[in-house]
Amino acid sequence: MMSGGIAHTSYGGVGLGYLLGFEPIIGAFIFSVCAALGIGYIKRKGGARSDVVIGLFWSLGMALGILFIAFMPGYPPDLSSYLFGNILSVTKSDLFLIVGLTIIVTLVIVALFNNWKAYLFDDEFASIIGIKTAFLEYLLLILIAMTVVVLIRVVGIILVLALLTAPAATAGLLTSNLKKRMIYSILLGNIFCISGLWISYKMNIASGAVIVVLSVIGYFISYIIRSIVMKYKRKKIARGIFNNSLKGDINE
């Protein structure tokens, strides 16, 4: 929900970029970071429930984007690539921004991995042992904002939430280890994106929608397989307990 709120708020930045004549993706980045910091601040101060705040930012960003586009003189631009993603519309400046933000996010995660692990597991414990949890929370929100901006041009604002959720959720079905979960999420995300781009190219359909559909299908397939495996293991354990108790009765 945090990712979805930040992603939809960024639409206001896209509209502002078109209105003032600068790169819309930069406007999306500014709005995303401001939304992340705003949500984090209100959440920490306890002034309102976080889901209410996220919903308000979500609606405000979309509304501002529509208003900014309406104020533009002449014909409004086609924003479908920002809403649903279009790999063919990615410019060279978009690529530079995407690469730069990706490197920053990766370096921050790797450098502070142990702190992230403690904070995400138990923020109260992390605070007791001296970790600055407020700093980590704001930093995490900013990293989410950066990630949202990176993904906007690939799958679009509307579909960003699915691509941020599905690979991580699928990885969570495969392992409970945080480091492995991160690695699996990256690998799965790459597989879904590359496969989706190939299918969209062959079938001449929207790349973002195909990537998200593959991501969700991948999650449900993994969930079904895991459920079957867990059911089989439970039956095997129950059968073993029954056999052991039966042997004990015979020996007695």
Tokens 């586009």 locate to 69
Q: Is the pLDDT of residue 75 over 70?
A: yes
In this structure, what are the phi and psi dihedrals at residue 24, rounded to the nearest 5 degrees?
-60, -35
> What is the number of other CB atoms lying within 10 angstroms of the CB of residue 89?
12
Tell me the mean pLDDT in the region 164-173. Answer: 91
Ranking 36-45, 57-66, 141-150, 187-196 by mean pLDDT, the lowest is 36-45
Q: What is the pLDDT of residue 241?
A: 66
Q: What is the pLDDT of residue 160?
A: 83
Q: Look up residue 152 and give its two tokens.
A: 């906007």
> What is the number of other CB atoms lying within 10 angstroms of the CB of residue 238?
10
pLDDT tens-digit map of 41-55: 877 776 557 777 788
Contact indicator for 87, 209 with CB cutoff of 8 Å: no
Alpha helices for the chain (secondary structure H): 2-20, 24-45, 50-71, 80-84, 92-111, 113-121, 123-128, 133-155, 160-174, 178-203, 207-251
pLDDT tens-digit map of 128-155: 888 888 888 888 888 888 888 888 877 7
Contact indicator for 43, 50 with CB cutoff of 8 Å: yes
Q: How much is the pTM?
A: 0.77
Q: What percent of the chain clears pLDDT 90, i.e. is strictly above it?
A: 13
Q: Is the pLDDT of residue 251 over 60?
A: no
Q: What is the pLDDT of residue 47?
A: 59
Q: Which of 148, 122, 132, 111 is nearest to 33 (CA)?
A: 148
When mean pLDDT is compared over 58-62, 154-158, 202-206, 247-251, the highest value belongs to 58-62
Please give the residue that has the higher pLDDT: either 85 or 229: 229
**Which string of DSSP letters, residue by residue, matches 125-177?**
HHHHTT--HHHHHHHHHHHHHHHHHHHHHHH-TTTHHHHHHHHHHHHHHH---
Q: Is the pLDDT of residue 2 over 90?
A: no
- Rounded to the nearest integer, the mean pLDDT of the chain is 83
CA dist., res. 171 & res. 184, Å (int): 5
Please give the residue that has the higher pLDDT: either 23 or 47: 23
Q: What is the pLDDT of residue 237?
A: 76
Domain coordinates in residue numbering, the chain? 1-156, 159-252
Handedness of CA 123, 127, 130, 133 (dihedral sign): positive
CATH superfamily of domain region 1-156? ABC transporter involved in vitamin B12 uptake, BtuC (1.10.3470.10)
